[in-house]
Amino acid sequence: MARILVIDDSTEVQGTYCRMLERAGYEVVAAIDGKEGIRAFCEKQPDLVITDIIMPEKEGFETIRELRSEFPDVKIIAISGGGSTEPEIYLMMAKKFGAMCTLTKPIEREALLEAVQECLT
């Protein structure tokens, strides 16, 4: 069973993704921001990271960059609903920082599980 780390500052969104993934048979670890996410990654060594982009403390770009630097083979899915600009701009930048796949919020269950499966294979 693959272990997935979900990093999102919205506990409601985070909970939704965690439930979707757990129901699909994945073990899930959650973190509220990039700082907590890096710590959880080091402790739990997940097979995949799903991270929001816009977060307090340590945002998604910095989190992706740090994970890629320390763990070059890490598999990352970046998610965003936008902020001061359209989500596509943030997600395009996330790919440049090393995200394997990107998804725009709100995310449908099927799209999330398809992206997870794609990244894990």
- All structural domains of the chain, each given as residue ranges with its CATH number in brackets, are 3-109 (3.40.50.2300)
- In this prediction the pTM is 0.95
Q: pLDDT tens digit string along 43-99? A: 999 999 999 999 988 999 999 999 999 999 999 999 998 776 788 999 999 999 999
Q: CA 36, 38, 42, 48: dihedral to nearest 10 degrees?
A: 110
Give the CA distances from residue 111 to residues 22, 57, 93, in Å, rounded to whole numbers and listed in that order.
Answer: 15, 28, 20
Q: pLDDT tens digit string along 39-58? A: 999 999 999 999 999 998 89
Amino acid at 57: E
Query: CA-CA distance, 114 to 39, in Å (whole number)?
Result: 27
Q: Please, which residues have CB within 8 angstroms of residue 68's CB and are 6 or more apart in sequence?
A: 74, 76, 97, 98
Q: Are 37 and 49 in contact (CB under 8 A)?
A: yes
